[in-house]
Amino acid sequence: CFKTYKHVKAPLEPIYTGNKFETIHIDLIGPLPASQGYNYCLTVIDRNTKWTECYPVRNIEANTITETLYKEWISRFGVPKIITTDQGRQFESAIFKSMCVTLGINRHRTNSFHPQSNGMIERFHRNLKTSLKPQIQNSNWVNNLPTVMLGLRTAISDTDKLSAYQRTFNISATLPSDIISPSPPKFNEPSPELRDNLRRAHKSYLPKSLMTATHVYVRDLPHKGGFSPTY
């Protein structure tokens, strides 16, 4: 009897990580309170660096999503080898499939038995919604989205102690707080010998009083130029 069969999950397939921007996960969030006519966001995360993007969109029609992905992500980061999506109608549409075929993109769909296979972007969504919540309440989230994204991209991961920004660009980001309240520059202390030489030079060339000086230089005017003595 089928009712007595043990329920087992379908096996997960290994996920290719690859180089930067070769494997990306995409999804949608919304509807959100309208802000400047935007009600949804297309979200993208690179599996290698964890670099994230969040593009406000006015609707989630297949044409809009496909065009936004191409103009905003692919135009900046290049054509990915693999795109992982859920089985939403936008990603199953003819225009989205046509773009993938034309650009040679291998499309992976999350297994309905294993929705956690797209868990990376789901975690990003949780963090994004938590950060945007105060702005969403006053319908001003579009203006505040860039600042929120800066914070998420520069947040240090507990796993490898790196941020998405550091993994992507191999440097630490300069944050607004670094410009507003910069750390004082650190200078190496001069050696004692250098300090003594500077003191002697200062004493020799800048006597405290001309009355106690042993020599006085008088400028020879008019100066003939070249290598002729000035004094």
> Interhelix angle for 141-154 vs 119-137, to 10°?
140
Q: How confident is the model at residue 7 (pLDDT cuts 50, 70, 90)?
A: very low
pLDDT at 181: 61
Res 104: pLDDT: 98
Query: 50 falls in which pLDDT band (50, 70, 90)?
Result: very high
pLDDT in tens, 148-186: 999 999 999 998 999 999 999 999 999 887 776 655 656
Q: pLDDT tens for residues 177-215?
A: 777 665 565 656 666 776 676 666 555 555 556 566 677
DSSP collapsed to 3 states, the chain: CHHHCCCCCCCCCCCCCCCCCCEEEEEEECCCCCECCECEEEEEEECCCCCEEEEEECCCCHHHHHHHHHHHHHHHHCCCCEEEECCCCCCCCHHHHHHHHHHCCEEEECCCCCHHHHHHHHHHHHHHHHHHHHHHHCCCHHHHHHHHHHHHHHCCCCCCCCCHHHHHHCCCCCCHHHHHCCCCCCCCCCCHHHHHHHHHHHHHHCCCCHHHCCCCCCCCCCCCCCCCCCC
Task: Using pLDDT thresholds of 50, 70 and 90, give the confidence band for residue 2.
Answer: very low
Given this model, what pLDDT does residue 137 score?
A: 74
Q: What is the pLDDT of residues 56-107, one digit of tens each?
A: 999 999 999 999 999 999 999 999 999 999 999 999 999 999 999 999 999 9
Share of the chain above pLDDT 90, in %: 54
For residue 220, the model assigns a pLDDT of 66
Per-residue model confidence (pLDDT) at position 231: 61
Residue 133 has what pLDDT?
Answer: 85
Residue 175's pLDDT is what? 87
Higher pLDDT, 115 or 19: 19
What domains can be seen in the chain, in order of their start residue?
Answer: 23-173 (3.30.420.10)
pTM, entire model = 0.70
Q: For residue 26, which of 105, 135, 130 has the smallest C-alpha distance? A: 105
